[in-house]
Structure 1
Amino acid sequence: MRQSRGGIGGADAPPGTLRITQKAAGCSEVNMAARASVAGGGRLMDKFRKWYYNAAGFNKLGLMRDDTWYEDDDVKEAVRRLPEHLYNERMFRIKRALDLSLKHQILPKDQWVKYEEDHHYLEPYLKEVIRERLEREEWNKK
């Protein structure tokens, strides 16, 4: 480190202020390490999500994430709006899961729903229902 007028705070820093240059502070190395940790953090979070997905256990019964939502009025309406094939698939998964649960069994591992295969099939319909409900509530206030 060297002393100069322009400290970390800028050129108007008081005389005698220590100026830490990027090179002296190892900022470029710090920035590279920070970028690597952020990229690694994404991978770490993805691994955690996969672990948590399997730890939750619903996939062992053949259920998808959207099959496990609490069915309030919004979810019921979203399910009602599902295309017939999605509705039938959902009902099959739920009935199979209930049957397995009553028997205290799980599916063979090759039939578990994988994290990568699980998609939010209900989410677009649910967002639309919630948006419509909020719009209706706003309209009724007027």
Structure 2
Amino acid sequence: MPLGLTLAPKVLASKTLTSWITPVAHWYANLAGYRRYGLKYDDLVIEEYEDVQKALNRLTPREQYDRAFRMKRASHASVLHNVLPKEEWTKPEEDVRFLSPLIREVEKEDKERAMWDTVYVSRK
């Protein structure tokens, strides 16, 4: 599953761009609404991709438990047509990417494996 191209390194390299875009990014993340259900951004990644499945298997048991708890709690709140109480919302500083680095690692390994599987050896 390709995560796509990102402009983040260029934005972070410029203090001016960072100061302009950061408030918009926070506003957009709050508008998305997943934090109101206690979810983190990486909880929303589609699980059906093989690379994501491999990355999920690499999570520590504690991270797997925490993710399952967040998903169950959010599902329960959704069924009740309610958001969680404000003190249970995910805070912006808690919303860290825990799965994306593992997905990138799996993709990198897959590319390397494909390269070695298709290497052509010639005799001199």
Shorter-chain TM band: 0.7 to 0.9
Which segments of 5 or more consecutive residues in structure 1 lack a partner in the other structure?
Answer: 1-37
Q: Cα deviation per residue 1:33-67 (whole Å; 9 max; x = unaligned)? A: xxxxx645422211111100110111111000010
1:54 and 2:24 equivalent?
no
TM, length-normalised to structure 1: 0.69
CA distance in 2, matches of 1:83, 1:54: 28
Match of 2:21 among 33, 39, 45: 45
Alignment of 1:103-118 (within 5 A): 103-118=80-95
- How far apart are 1:116 and its partner, in Å? 2.0
Write the letter of the residue equivalent to 2:38: G
Aligned partner of 1:16 in structure 2 is none
TM, length-normalised to structure 2: 0.78
CA distance in 1, matches of 2:72, 2:51: 22
Alignment of 1:1-142 (within 5 A): 39-71=15-47, 72-142=49-119
Write the letter of the residue equivalent to 2:53: K
- How far apart are 1:122 and its partner, in Å? 1.2
CA distance in 2, matches of 1:121, 1:114: 15
- How far apart are 1:124 and its partner, in Å? 2.4
What SS class does the counterpart of residue 83 from structure 2 fall into?
A: coil
Aligned partner of 2:122 in structure 1 is none
What SS class does the counterpart of residue 59 from structure 2 fall into?
A: coil
- How far apart are 1:105 and its partner, in Å? 0.9
Higher relative contact order (CA 8 A, sep 6+): 2
Question: Max radius of gyration: which structure?
Answer: 1
